[in-house]
Amino acid sequence: MSAEYDALEKNGTWDLVPSHPSQNVVGCKWIFRIKRNPDGSVARYKARLVAKGFHQRPGVDFHETFSPVVKPVTVRLILTIVVTNG
């Protein structure tokens, strides 16, 4: 867990800022997994820090959301252009 935390700090994943009384502070939670080899022995331990986004209130903590997902028609168009131009 400390290795994962150190990596998050090193990468500048977050900035510590003072909280405001009118703002909702989103909590976080550690998720732990054990990755195993085919024979069942432990390959490595994994830790992931996730935000508890379900505590956010629409219109108060955020106003709009965006998910950068490519439409299938866009992928087909780009592949067609690539194949056509060699």
d(CA 78, CA 24): 42
Per the CB < 8 A criterion, the answer to whether 83 and 75 are in contact is no
Q: How confident is the model at residue 26 (pLDDT cuts 50, 70, 90)?
A: confident
- 55-73 average pLDDT score: 84
- Which of 28-62 are b and which e, b meaning 16 or more Cβ less than 10 Å from the residue's Cβ? eeeeeeeeeeeeeeeeeeeeeeeeeeeeeeeeeee
Closest CA to 29 of 3, 1, 56, 7: 1
Would you kindly state where each structural domain of the chain is located, as residue ranges?
2-63
Q: How confident is the model at residue 85 (pLDDT cuts 50, 70, 90)?
A: very high
Q: pTM to 2 decimals? A: 0.52
- 28-53 average pLDDT score: 91
Token look-up 């087909």 returns 76
